[in-house]
Structure formats: C-alpha cells, structure tokens
Amino acid sequence: MVFFWMVVLLLALLTYVILDGYDLGIGTLTLFERDGDTRRGMLEVVGNVWDGNESWLILLAMGLWAGFPDAYATALPGLYLPLSLMLFALIFRGFSIEMALQRPGFDRVWGRLFGLGSLVSAFAQGVLFGGLLTGITVVNHGFAGRPWDFLGHGYALLTGCATVLLYAWAGAAQLQAKLPVDERRGASRRVRLLTGPVVLVCALSASLLPVATKARLRLDGVDRWLPFGYALLIAAGAFYVAWRWAGRTPKQVSFFAIAAAEAAGLLALVCLYFPQLVAPSVTIYSAAAGRSTLVFLAAMIGIIGPGTVAYGIYAHWVFRSTPPALNVAEPPPAANGRSALSPSN
Amino acid sequence: MASTSFIDLSRFQFATTAAFHMTFPALSVGLALFLVICYASYCKTDNPIYLQMFRFWRNIFAVGFALGIVAGIVLTFELGLNWGGYSRAVGPVLGPIICLEALTAFFLEAAFIGILLYGEGRVSRKVTMVATCLVALGALLSTAWILAANSWMQTPAGYKEINGQFQPTSWYHVIFNPAFVWRFPHQVLAVLISASWFIAAIGAYYLLKHRAAQFARKTMSIGLLAASLLLPIQLYVGDSTASYVSAVYQPAKVTAAEGNFANGNTGWNVIVIPNQAKQRDDFTLSIPHAGSVFVFHNFSGTTPVPGLTDFPKALQPPVWPTFYGFKLMIFAAWGMFSVAFIGLIMRLRRRMFTERWFLRLVLWTMPVGVFATIAGWVVSESGRQPWLVYGKLLVANSPSSLSTGELIATLVAFWVVYLVLFGAWVRHVAREVRKGPEELPPNSTDTASAGPATPSPARPPVPVGTE
C-alpha cells in the first residue's frame, strides 16, 4: 500500500513536471520573444492548459499530505522560502495570463508579469527540489533546521538554473507543434540552441549531488544499479533525439523525448534515494499514514483516476492545433492550412 | 511550543489569505450556475440575448475564477508551511478529502474551463453546454469537499487517535459529520445568494445608465428572482445551522456570538464592547427578550442566554470577531431579504425596472452577499478557537517551527500581492462593466455545428439590447 501510493505520487510529480514544465517554459520564453503576434500565440497556447496543469501540483501536494503526513509536515516548513516564492510567482502568473488574454494583442504589463512569474516559478521549483535532494533536518516529526538550510551551500541555485533551462527547452519543443505554422521556426531554433546548456547543467547537478547532499545515496544491489544505468542511457538517448528532431516532422518527437528524459532523471533519483522521502531521516515507511487512509486513497485513484485522465486528454485534444483567433483583433491568415476555425468534429 | 504572538501572526496570515480566497468562490460558484442558465436558455430559445449574457458574464467569471484557483493553491500549501503540527496530526483524515477535491473538482473544472472560455468555434453548442455544466458541477463539488473537511474540524467523527495522529475508522462518518449536513447547504445558499445579488446589481447599473435595456432587465430579473427564492430558505438553514451545530456541539461559539459574559440576559445584544480580560461587557445595547426568542425559539422570552463565564477563560473563543461577524452576517441577510421582498412587490406592480431609488439600492448593496459569506466564515472559524480540531487539537500545538522573520516576510508579501491583485480585479470588472455587453456580438462564431465558421469582425455593428 505504501509503495503503491509512492508510485502514484511519483507519477503525479512526473506529470506535473512534464505538463506545467512546458507551460512555465513557454512563459519564460515570452520574455525573449520579440515578435508581438508570436508572443500572443504563446500566451494562447498556455491559456487553455495552465490551470489543468497546475491541478497536478495540488494533487501532488495533497497526495503527499494524505499519504505521508510526516513528510508534508517537515518538507514544507523546511522549504518555506522557496515554496513561498513559488506561490507568489504562480499567483501573479495565473492572474496575469487571464488578464493578458482578456485584451487584444500582447498586453505589455500583464504579458511581462506573466513571463516573469513563469521564470521565477520555474527557478523556485528548481531551488526547492534541490533543497529536498540535499536533505532537511528533522527532529521529533518536525522541521528543526534553519531558514536558509535549503540552499545547501549553493547547490539549490544550480538546480534552480537547471530547472529554468529544462522547462524552457520543453516549452520550445511544445511550441514547435502548437504555434501557427509560419511562426514555428524560431521555436525549433531554440530547441537546438538550448540542448547544450541543458545537458551541461544537468550533468553538473548530477555530478555534484553526492558532494552536496546529506542523504544516503545507494547503488548497491542489482535492483538499484540496473535501473539506474538504464535511466542514464535513456536520458542520454532522449537528449540526442530531442536535439536531432528539432524542426522536423513529426513535430511532437522532441517534446516526447524531453518528457522521457525527465522520467529517466526521476527514475535515477528514486534508485539513489529509495526509501528516503525527506532525506535523510524521513522514509516512506516512517511517514506513511495508516492503512485505512492508504486503502481509501488507492480506491479513490482506481475509481476516479481513469476518468480524470480521459477527460484531461479530451481537453488537450480539443486544443490540439493552432488556437483560434477569437480573442485577437484580426482574423488569422487564410493561408494557415490547418486553421483551427475549421470544425473540429 | 511557539509563543502566543507567533501563533497569532500565523493565524492572522491564514485568516486573511483564506478570506481573500473566499471572495472569489463566493462569486464564481454562483456565476458558473448563472452561465449554465444563460447558455441553456440560449440553446433552448435561440434568443441571441442569452448568448450575449453568457459572453458578458463569462469575461467577468474568467479572471475571478483564475484568482480563486491560485489563491486556493496558496491555502493548500499554507497548511503544511505554517501549520506543520496540524498537518501531521490531521493528514490521514483530511488529506484524502482534499485529494478527492483535487481529483473530482479541480481537474474537472480545469479541463472544461478551457472549452468554456476558448472553445467557441472549435466545439459544437452541445459540447459548450456540457462543458459549462461540468465547470459548475466542479465548483459545487469543490464546495462540498471543503465543507466536509472544515466541518470535520468543527465536529470530528469517525476516527481514532494513534501516536498524536488522527486515523480514520469510518469514512462515512468522517465525511458526513454532524456539522457538514447543515453547513454544506448553508454555504451553497450563501454563495448563490452572493452571486445573484452581484448579478442583479450589475443589471441595475445598466438600467440606471439607460444602456442595454433588454440585457439589463433579463440580468436583474434572474438575479433578483434567484435571491428572493433562496433567501427565505437560507434564513431557515442558517438558523438551523446555528441552533443545531453550534448549540449542540460548540456551545461556546453560540455564547460568544451572542456576546454575553454573565448568565441571565434574556435580551438580544445588538452592540457590545467586550472586555475579555475582565470577563465582562463594558457596554451592551440589547433588545429585551429577543435573545431567548432568537436563540431558543422561546416566544415567552424568558429563557436566559448563557454567558461565556460558563467556560474556562483559556477555552473561550474571542468575542470581538465572533460577535461582530455574526451580527454582520445576520444584518446582511435581513437587509437583502427586505430588499428582495420589496423587489417582489415592485415586480408585481411592474415597476421594478424603472423605480430609480430601488435600482440604486440594489446597485449600492452589490457586495453585501460576499461580506455576509466572509463574515459567516469569521464566525465559524474564530468561534472554534482556541481549538483547531474542536475539543481535540489546540491551535497552540499546531504551528511549524519557523523563524518570526520568515512569517512576517510572507505575511507582508501576501498583503501587498493580494491588495495589488484585488485592485486589478476590481478595475477589470469595472472596465468590463463600463465597456458593456453591447460590443459582445451574439451573432458571430457559434457555428461549429453549422460548418466552417467565418471569423467574426472585431467590432460588430449590431448592438443587441440597446434601444
């Protein structure tokens, strides 16, 4: 039961990183896009999906609270500052995108705030993930460290930068498929451009982790080193594929490759950390709620989960192609072959 | 254990962020249902005025809904950030309920709000209708789960305590705890009334300005009709909530809401200046005998209302917020009831849309419903003090070990951010209202069922509803 719920939470985390990762990345990229129409297009790509993507963050947080209350009650106070920063940035971002979309064209104030909010959210998420990886001091079921412990002598800043770059990379890969056809070239160029820096910071973060962390990292036993090895191979392969397919059809390959790389990275970390949840002292077994709670959660996921995923996919499918220009002042160019204004059913 | 001032700061932070959050669901749950009514009427009658209403309110709904979501995310994290002790203790019971909220409500709303807001021209009318209904359903489900979780803190049931944690034994009793059964309808009615009042007031604004007459009449008519139907029910449900939940399970809450320290007062206090340190009221203004009528429904007016001195000083809720929250809620409800009643009479005499003093009255009372809803939450939460889980877990045992600096920094940041956002939201609503419904074409792109759509002109020349 404990293991089952851990897998559910890991899947929620992965889904969140893949989905909100790309929309935070697109938000960050609006800061570097000069063309007004393209920026507007980017906002619209995010506008349809952001709240659905952020629902995974709530599920993740509440799933952690329900299934592993001790972890929730120690990790959150331990990561107080970066988490609060993330919340403020997410608030601004969510509000400003709706405000920006209510107005025609690219709204300077709200559009900028949206980009900045996305950048800061991504950075804060990287920082708090780094803080979690380096370890949190826990005494008697409560956080017992100092406010700035999460920095881990600066390691968290590195993971913060890594996350910003990774998300921007995923965002660019998603834009390749979602923007109007004639505006996709810039996105493809960004995918290729970002590959190098992403590989660099990810490799640097990974190699510094053993030095920076207070956790007990283990690779003994075939059940740890074999999946770990596979994960590294998959990640390396996925990085290559994402780079190679930038700007080629089918458009979605780069994005799925990046998602695979993120999954592989998470798998590698699980191999190293299991069963530590809030390293080094809180494990999934010491933090787990009672059996009655876990059974209830499993039943709930089993019954409601599939429906949730099904209509989530439907909602993405409705907006699978270029967004319609209902909120834009002028109609989209007629040359746009797959115009969204053609009926979708 | 944390110091009192630290706890008060944490409490203040949670209270203000929760009140800010509550403002938006108080409107958007009702607005979501109103959108359902508008679109359903449009589908049924093909009258473009309903599509215009749908589009106009959708623009106002969208931003408030987004604010509600992000402010709600803050609350879910705040539980763990500031109240580590609490979240460890109640996680096994309340965590799954909020998980259920995320799974059944948030995902549902999030998936279909995109179709509701941006789906026109991509999907058929039927799909838009279904999406609108599902968003409203999600909002109602969300209310239900939150009320279940909060009511469990008021009247905990179906659990046992193991190692300082509450472990559920019966999920049925956890969810359908005694308080939930009354508080859920009470809250649903409250948010529906708040939204109807808001809607009616905007309608009144256009009537006063002689703009969009057809739109304004329909809007005000539906809003005020809903309010006048729901308010009598709410007065009954609210009274039952107070006398059943609070009087039976939380006598201290009712006592604080009535504002008596000493026993023996049969009157109903309208104004008190409580002095909790000395355990007496420095000033009271009360209506004689009304206390026993309102509290005990004893029409002879002779049953005295109990006083707070029945409870140990350390276990008394604070009188200031509980008393005045309660009075504000009651007076707001009575006030709206009276206005709605006058409206009903005027409607029968066919003067509701023309009598300017009445339109002004409705316009100026626009936020009263929201105030009443928030005041109600102040009563239920401050009246539960000093307990977090009533009778089981004290607030004093619940905060995380944080530095005061961290707490103050985030408190200030929340206030700044929320004031800015609230200002921006008010400006947005004001702007949309001033721009008016006339520019929202009811004739443009609702055509996915009828073959390829032609893009709508940006500024259509057909203002419907202006005379």
Whether residues A91 and B84 touch (CB distance < 8 A) is answered with: no
B residues 41-60 lying closer than 8 A (beta carbon) to A: 59
Quick check: A95 contacting B, CB < 8 Å?
yes
Q: Does residue B454 surpass a pLDDT of 60?
A: no
B460 part of a folded domain:
no
Whether residues B95 and A74 touch (CB distance < 8 A) is answered with: no
* A304: nearest CB among B104, B117, B123: B104
Cα distances from B308 to residues B8, B56, B154, B251, B421, in angstroms, run 22, 50, 19, 9, 40
Query: In a 3-state reduction of DSSP, which class is residue B265?
Result: strand
At residue B311, the pLDDT reads: 86
At residue B440, the pLDDT reads: 66
Whether residues B110 and A55 touch (CB distance < 8 A) is answered with: yes
* B99: nearest CB among A59, A69, A84: A59
A residues 188-247 lying closer than 8 A (beta carbon) to B: none
Residue B334: which pLDDT band, with cuts at 50, 70 and 90? very high
What pLDDT digit, counting tens, does each position of B361-381 carry? Answer: 999 999 999 999 999 999 999
Whether residues B92 and A315 touch (CB distance < 8 A) is answered with: no
Amino acid (1-letter code) at residue A44 = E
Report the alpha-carbon distance of residue B215 to residue B465 in Å, rounded: 6
Cβ-based neighbours of A282, under 8 Å, separated by 6 or more: A70, A71, A74, A75, A136, A138, A276
Distance from the Cα of residue B142 to its chain's centroid = 12
> Which of the 8 DSSP states describes residue B459?
S
B268 part of a folded domain:
no
At residue A289, the pLDDT reads: 87
Query: In a 3-state reduction of DSSP, which class is residue A40?
Result: helix
Whether residues A102 and B63 touch (CB distance < 8 A) is answered with: yes
The least confident of A118-122, B62-66, B180-184, B304-308 is B304-308
At residue A321, the pLDDT reads: 63
Whether residues A73 and B88 touch (CB distance < 8 A) is answered with: yes
Interface probe with B: pick from A62, A74, A319, most Cβ of B within 10 Å: A62
* B121: nearest CB among A67, A81, A341: A341
At residue B441, the pLDDT reads: 60
CA of A26 vs chain B CAs: smallest distance (Å):
18
* A330: nearest CB among B162, B165, B458: B458
User: What tokens were used for B126?
Assistant: 């039927």
Half-sphere exposure of A136 (CA within 13 A, CB side): 30
Report the alpha-carbon distance of residue A146 to residue B233 in Å, rounded: 52
| Bridge partner residues of B393 (DSSP) | B389
Whether residues B84 and A344 touch (CB distance < 8 A) is answered with: no
Half-sphere exposure of B397 (CA within 13 A, CB side): 13
Whether residues B106 and A55 touch (CB distance < 8 A) is answered with: yes
Q: Which spans in B102-124 are helix H?
A: 107-118
Closest CA to B208 of B369, B429, B366, B332: B366
Whether residues B455 and A341 touch (CB distance < 8 A) is answered with: yes
Cβ-based neighbours of A292, under 8 Å, separated by 6 or more: B92, B167, B168, B169, B171
Answer whether B21's CB lies under 8 Å from B74's CB: yes
At residue A184, the pLDDT reads: 85
Quick check: B277 contacting A, CB < 8 Å?
no
Report the alpha-carbon distance of residue A217 to residue A214 in Å, rounded: 9
Whether residues B77 and A61 touch (CB distance < 8 A) is answered with: yes
CB atoms closer than 10 angstroms to residue B315: 13
> Which of the 8 DSSP states describes residue A181?
G
What is the CATH code of the structural domain delimited by A2-289? 1.20.1630
Closest CA to B81 of A45, A95, A229, A72: A72
Quick check: B441 contacting A, CB < 8 Å?
no
User: What tokens were used for B72?
Assistant: 């709600």
Report the alpha-carbon distance of residue B50 to residue B22 in Å, rounded: 28
Quick check: B312 contacting A, CB < 8 Å?
no
Residue B3 φ/ψ, nearest 5 degrees: -75, 160
Q: Does residue B432 surpass a pLDDT of 80?
A: yes
At residue A322, the pLDDT reads: 55
Q: Give the residue from chain A lying closest to B131, CA to CA.
A: A315
User: What tokens were used for B385?
Assistant: 């003090």
User: What tokens were used for B312?
Assistant: 């140990």
* B71: nearest CB among A75, A91, A102: A91
What pLDDT digit, counting tens, does each position of A313-344 carry? Answer: 888 788 776 554 444 333 333 333 333 333 33
Report the alpha-carbon distance of residue A282 to residue B53 in Å, rounded: 54
* A58: nearest CB among B76, B127, B417: B76
CA of B17 vs chain A CAs: smallest distance (Å):
12
More confident residue, B226 or B467: B226
B156 part of a folded domain:
yes
Quick check: B341 contacting A, CB < 8 Å?
no
B287 part of a folded domain:
no
| Bridge partner residues of A194 (DSSP) | none
At residue B460, the pLDDT reads: 36
Q: Is B50 exposed, middle or buried (0-12, 13-18, 19+ CB in 10 A)?
A: buried
Tell me what the pLDDT averaged over chain B comes to.
Answer: 85
Q: Give the residue from chain A lying closest to B174, CA to CA.
A: A293
Its pTM stands at 0.86
Answer whether B251's CB lies under 8 Å from B239's CB: no
Query: In a 3-state reduction of DSSP, which class is residue B270?
Result: strand
Query: In a 3-state reduction of DSSP, which class is residue B194?
Result: helix
Residue with the two structure tokens 């995109």? B114
Cβ-based neighbours of B159, under 8 Å, separated by 6 or more: B93, B166, B167, B168, B169, B174
Quick check: B102 contacting A, CB < 8 Å?
yes
Whether residues A144 and B401 touch (CB distance < 8 A) is answered with: yes
Cβ-based neighbours of B225, under 8 Å, separated by 6 or more: none
- When mean pLDDT is compared over A72-76, A115-119, B24-28, B383-387, the highest value belongs to A115-119
B390 part of a folded domain:
yes
CA of B401 vs chain A CAs: smallest distance (Å):
7
Q: What is the mean pLDDT of residues B258-272?
A: 82
Report the alpha-carbon distance of residue B135 to residue B27 in Å, rounded: 14
Answer whether B400's CB lies under 8 Å from A76's CB: yes
What pLDDT digit, counting tens, does each position of B57-93 carry? Answer: 998 898 888 888 888 888 889 888 888 889 889 989 9
CA of B75 vs chain A CAs: smallest distance (Å):
10
Q: What is the mean pLDDT of residues B49-62?
A: 90
Number of structural domains (chain B) is 1
Quick check: B456 contacting A, CB < 8 Å?
yes
| Bridge partner residues of B168 (DSSP) | B159
Q: CB contacts < 8 Å between A and B, how many?
A: 262
Report the alpha-carbon distance of residue B40 to residue A176 in Å, rounded: 38
Q: Does residue B464 surpass a pLDDT of 50?
A: no
Cβ-based neighbours of A265, under 8 Å, separated by 6 or more: A202, A231, A235
Report the alpha-carbon distance of residue B351 to residue B223 in Å, rounded: 16
Give me Rg for the CA atoms of chain B: 24
B461 part of a folded domain:
no
At residue B124, the pLDDT reads: 86
B34 part of a folded domain:
yes
CA of B82 vs chain A CAs: smallest distance (Å):
7
Whether residues A77 and B401 touch (CB distance < 8 A) is answered with: yes
B433 part of a folded domain:
yes
Report the alpha-carbon distance of residue B195 to residue B223 in Å, rounded: 8
Quick check: B62 contacting A, CB < 8 Å?
yes
B residues 78-97 lying closer than 8 A (beta carbon) to A: 79-82, 84-85, 87-96
Report the alpha-carbon distance of residue A117 to residue A167 in Å, rounded: 14
Answer whether B369's CB lies under 8 Å from B195's CB: yes
Closest CA to B268 of B295, B244, B297: B295
Intervals of chain A under pLDDT 50: 324-345
Quick check: A156 contacting B, CB < 8 Å?
no
Residue with the two structure tokens 């200046």? B273
Report the alpha-carbon distance of residue B114 to residue A18 in Å, rounded: 19
Residue with the two structure tokens 């036993």? A221
